Each structure stands twice: as structure tokens, then as C-alpha cells.
């Protein structure tokens, strides 16, 4: 493993550490026990990495079908697509077991609200890792970051994505703290904003394969993914919003109240 590879994968470890710390510190706000928060954070990491690898293989297969030899071992967009799916399936299985044991069901919406920042924190760290090793670089320009392999300056698209995603996380946290999001809407809103951000920065990303740069309707391959995710999030937002009976979270019962 090269020094660049070590730097790249170290960002995943850093992202996981931040994600775990966030879940442990914030779990009580969502009425989730710490052991359960730790378990689901571990699952989130596994699902995210697995989803990214799966999406990379899908990209490679489609690129081969298009007649190009472009490959992608890891595509972080796969984490955005597959992680919530795997998490929801896991929570459905847990609720089924709780039902058989005659225990109260867990709140899938509250759990997703807790895990959402962690998903995009690790994506931000992974994208910073891309900047460290020079993959997914931007188009050539007269300014920016010097790419030693290409012997030219390239647009710092990875850094722009990192900054944009940090601002996105801050915006969503402010929306939640001010009661602008209903329970279960946090991931939907975050993924929708991320899709818009990624769509914009894709115009500045370098593609050495014409088939993937002009994939459908003049959009790049990943811009099509952005549109797909954005449409799904818009539909999901209206569904979850209609399901919400109220904004905010249920008030914790006053257990200290004395019986008369």
C-alpha cells in the first residue's frame, strides 16, 4: 500500500471516529440508548463502505457495456443510495423481533435522524481523501491545484465539495434546531441538498471517457445519479411529511412527577 493509499483510507477511519462520537453524544436527544446507537453506527459504516463498493462495481459494469475501460473500485454515491435502504431493512427486522418478544417498536425516523449526519460526515472525509490522492480531480485550468501525474493545474473540485458538504451539514442542523424539519425528514433533506451540490460540481470534474461524460441528455453519469436521488428525495419528503402528525419530537414524559 502506497503512502497516498494510506492517507486516503485514514480519512475513512477519521470519519468513522467522528461519526461514532456524534452518535454517542447525541443519541439521548433522539431517545436512543447508547448501545443501540453504537451498533447502528457500526452498521452505518459497514453499509456505507459496502454500498460505495457495490456502486463502483455497477459503474464499472456499465462503463464496460458502453465500450470503455473506465473502472471505479469505490463510488461514494453508493453510500448515499444504499446505506438508508440497508438501515431501514435492519430496523424492520429488529422491529419484527421486538414484536415477537412483545416489546415496544423502535422509531425508524428518529434513528435515521440520529445517523444522518454521520453518513455525510464520513462522505466528506472520503472526498477529502480523494483530494489527497488526486482522484476524481477537476478539469484543467490556469489556477487551482497542481496535479503531479498530469503535470498541470486542475480545478480543486474535491475541496469545493468538502466545503459545500460542511456548509450543508451546518444548514441542516440549523433547520432541525429551529424546528423546520419533521421527524424522519433529516436524511431526505440532506441527501436532496447533496444531490444538488454534486450535480453543480460535476460540471468542473474531469472525465477522460466521453461515454461517461455525455451519458444521457448531455449530463455526466454521476449527474444522472444526482437527478435520480433528488427525485426520490422529493417524493420521499412529501410521503414522510404527510405521515408526520406534528413537527418536532415527542416530549419526554415527566417521570419525576409525584403521584397524588
Could you tell me the residue ranges of all domains in the chain?
Answer: 3-243
pLDDT of residue 172 exceeding 90, the answer is yes
pLDDT of residue 44 exceeding 60, the answer is yes
Backbone angles phi, psi at 76, to 5 degrees: -65, -20
pLDDT at 1: 66
pLDDT at 245: 54
pLDDT in tens, 243-259: 775 444 444 443 343 33
Helices (H), the chain: 3-26, 34-65, 77-100, 108-133, 157-177, 186-201, 210-213, 221-243
Cell of 258: 409525584
- Angle of CA points 229, 236, 185, to nearest 5°: 100
| Exposure letters 106-131 (e unless 16+ CB within 10 A, then b) | bbbbbbbbbbbbbbbbbbbbbbbbbb
pLDDT of residue 54 exceeding 70, the answer is yes
Amino acid at each position: 500500500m502506497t503512502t497516498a493509499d494510506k492517507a486516503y483510507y485514514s480519512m475513512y477511519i477519521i470519519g468513522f471516529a467522528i461519526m461514532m462520537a456524534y452518535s454517542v453524544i447525541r443519541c439521548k436527544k433522539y431517545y436512543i440508548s447508547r448501545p443501540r446507537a453504537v451498533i447502528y453506527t457500526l452498521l452505518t459504516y459497514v453499509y456505507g463502505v459496502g454500498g460505495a463498493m457495490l456502486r463502483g462495481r455497477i459503474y464499472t459494469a456499465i462503463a464496460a457495456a458502453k465500450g470503455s475501460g473506465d473502472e471505479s473500485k469505490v463510488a461514494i454515491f453508493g453510500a448515499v443510495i444504499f446505506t438508508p435502504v440497508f438501515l431501514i431493512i435492519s430496523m424492520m427486522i429488529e422491529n419484527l423481533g421486538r414484536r415477537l418478544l412483545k416489546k415496544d417498536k423502535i422509531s425508524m425516523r428518529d434513528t435515521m435522524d440520529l445517523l444522518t449526519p454521520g453518513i455525510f460526515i464520513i462522505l466528506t472525509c472520503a472526498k477529502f481523501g480523494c483530494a489527497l490522492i488526486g482522484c476524481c480531480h477537476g478539469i484543467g485550468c490556469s489556477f487551482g491545484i497542481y496535479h503531479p501525474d498530469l503535470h498541470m493545474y486542475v480545478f480543486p473540485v474535491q475541496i469545493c465539495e468538502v466545503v459545500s458538504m460542511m456548509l450543508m451539514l451546518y444548514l441542516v442542523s440549523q433547520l432541525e434546531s429551529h424546528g423546520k424539519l419533521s421527524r424522519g425528514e433529516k436524511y431526505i433533506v440532506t441527501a436532496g441538498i447533496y444531490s444538488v451540490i454534486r450535480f453543480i460540481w460535476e460540471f468542473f470534474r474531469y472525465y477522460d471517457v466521453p461515454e461517461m461524460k455525455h451519458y444521457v441528455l448531455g449530463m455526466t453519469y454521476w449527474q444522472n445519479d444526482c437527478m435520480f436521488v433528488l427525485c426520490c428525495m422529493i417524493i420521499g419528503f412529501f410521503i414522510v411529511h404527510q405521515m408526520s402528525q406534528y413537527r418536532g419530537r415527542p416530549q419526554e414524559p415527566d417521570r419525576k412527577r409525584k403521584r397524588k
